Copies of this chain bind each other. A is one copy, B any other.
C-alpha cells in the first residue's frame, strides 16, 4: 500500500526521550575517572563553558580552569567589541522583552576591536587559565593569527553549521587542513550533527568536534530554519564517526555535545551516548560568577536580517563550584553535575568515560514516566 519511496525518515532522539540502563556490575562513584583529553591537554572534568556572552568572560574562564574544566571566550561578542563589556551586558539584562532583539542587533553591529582580542586572551593567561577562544569561519583568517600570537591554548572555529567544505562567492572557503598546519595550537570545530559531516571534519586534522545544531535553550534554529537533529542521535552518530576515524587513522578525536542540557541527567545521557565532553550554556549562565547576571541569550540572536533565539531569564541559583560539585539541597538535577555524572557511572560500572560509552540506553519518553504527573492526576480530589 505504501508508495515508491521518495525519502526515508530515520527516528532521532533527544535527551528527554531516553534513559540509561544500569549495568550488571556497579562501582563506587569515587572510583569514576571523568577526565577529558584534547590533544596534549588533560582536563579533570569533561565540562566546557559555551562561547556565549552570557556564559563566558575572562573571569569565568579563569574560574573554570581552576575547577578542572575549560571555557570558550567568543572573539566576536561583546568582549571584543566593547572596552567595558559589563555595561553592555547590564543594558541587555535591563531591556524589556519587546526591546531585546533590536537592542542585541544594535549591540552586535559594533565593530570588533582587534586590540581587545589580544588583551582578553592575555587577561585569561595572566589569571592562570587555559585559554580557549572561538571565531566564526568567515573571520577565522583575520582573527586566528591574533589569537595565537596572544598565546591562546586552543582555537575553536564555530558556527551554527560548519562543514569541511564550504562554497561562497564572496570569499574563499576556509580549508581546515591548511589551518591546522598553519596554526601552532589544537583546533576544535563545530557544529555538526551527522556521521558524514563529522568524519569529514576529523579527516582535516582537527583536535575535537562540537556536536549539536538547534537544541540550545536560547536557540530557535529548528523553528526558523527547520534544521536540527536531537542531541542523543546526533551524539551517537558522531561517536560512530569518531570510532571509525580512529580505526582508519589511529587518532582519537573527542566529540563535545553542545547545547540542550537542562539537568545532570542530560549530561549522563550525552556521555552514555558517546560524548567525551559536554558544552554547557544555560546551566552555567545560572552561576553567580557568569557574565549574564541571570539571563541567557544565543549568539545567532543578533543576526541583522534573520535573528534566531530568545533571551531567557535563567536566574542565579548558586556558585559555579556548587553547580559543578555541590553539595546542594536542590533536587531537580541542576546542581552537583559532576556528582551526578559520577553516580551514574557508578551504577553503570564505568571506571572511565570511554567505558560509560558502552552503557545500554532505552527509548523512554519522559512524558510517560510513571508517577511524574501525580499532582495533576490527583487534582480533582
List the interface of chain A (C-beta within 8 A of B): 1-28, 30-31, 101-102, 105, 160-170, 192-197, 200, 213-220, 222-233, 236-237, 239-241, 243-244, 259-269, 272-274, 282, 301, 304-310, 312, 314-315, 317, 326-333, 336, 339-340, 343-344, 347-349, 360-372, 374-375, 377-378, 380-381
B10/A1 in contact, CB under 8 A: yes
A243/B6 in contact, CB under 8 A: yes
Residue from B165, B263, B329, B365 in contact with A224 in the complex, judged by beta carbons closer than 8 Å: B263
A262/B363 in contact, CB under 8 A: no
A227 to B314, CA, bound (A): 25
Question: Residues of B contacting A218 with CB < 8 Å?
Answer: 371
Q: Name the residue on B nearest A217 (C-beta).
A: B371
Name, among A233, A239, A329, the residue most crowded by chain B CB atoms within 10 Å (CB to CB).
A329
Question: Residues of B contacting A195 with CB < 8 Å?
Answer: 3-4
Residue from B214, B226, B261 in contact with A269 in the complex, judged by beta carbons closer than 8 Å: B226
Question: Residues of B contacting A162 with CB < 8 Å?
Answer: 26
B7/A378 in contact, CB under 8 A: no
A200 to B230, CA, bound (A): 35
A186 to B190, CA, bound (A): 47
Pick 14 A–B contacts, CB within 8 A, sort by A. A3-B194, A3-B196, A21-B194, A25-B165, A215-B369, A215-B371, A225-B265, A226-B266, A227-B265, A227-B344, A227-B348, A230-B368, A305-B328, A315-B381
A3/B361 in contact, CB under 8 A: no
Question: Residues of B contacting A365 with CB < 8 Å?
Answer: 368
In the assembled complex, the CB of A377 is this many whole angstroms from the nearest CB of chain B, namely 6
A331/B301 in contact, CB under 8 A: yes
A169/B31 in contact, CB under 8 A: yes
Q: Name the residue on B nearest A223 (C-beta).
A: B333
A166/B332 in contact, CB under 8 A: no
In the assembled complex, the CB of A109 is this many whole angstroms from the nearest CB of chain B, namely 12
In the assembled complex, the CB of A375 is this many whole angstroms from the nearest CB of chain B, namely 7
In the assembled complex, the CB of A144 is this many whole angstroms from the nearest CB of chain B, namely 19
A358 to B22, CA, bound (A): 27
A304/B331 in contact, CB under 8 A: no
Residue from B165, B259, B314, B375 in contact with A24 in the complex, judged by beta carbons closer than 8 Å: B165
B31/A214 in contact, CB under 8 A: no
Q: Name the residue on B nearest A338 (C-beta).
A: B306
Q: Name the residue on B nearest A312 (C-beta).
A: B374
Question: Residues of B contacting A261 with CB < 8 Å?
Answer: 370-371
In the assembled complex, the CB of A13 is this many whole angstroms from the nearest CB of chain B, namely 7
Residue from B12, B160, B240 in contact with A5 in the complex, judged by beta carbons closer than 8 Å: B240
Which 5 A-B residue pairings sit nearest by Cβ, starting from the closest?
A3-B195, A260-B370, A226-B265, A217-B371, A226-B268
A167/B370 in contact, CB under 8 A: no
B237/A6 in contact, CB under 8 A: yes
B163/A371 in contact, CB under 8 A: no
Residue from B160, B196, B236 in contact with A6 in the complex, judged by beta carbons closer than 8 Å: B236
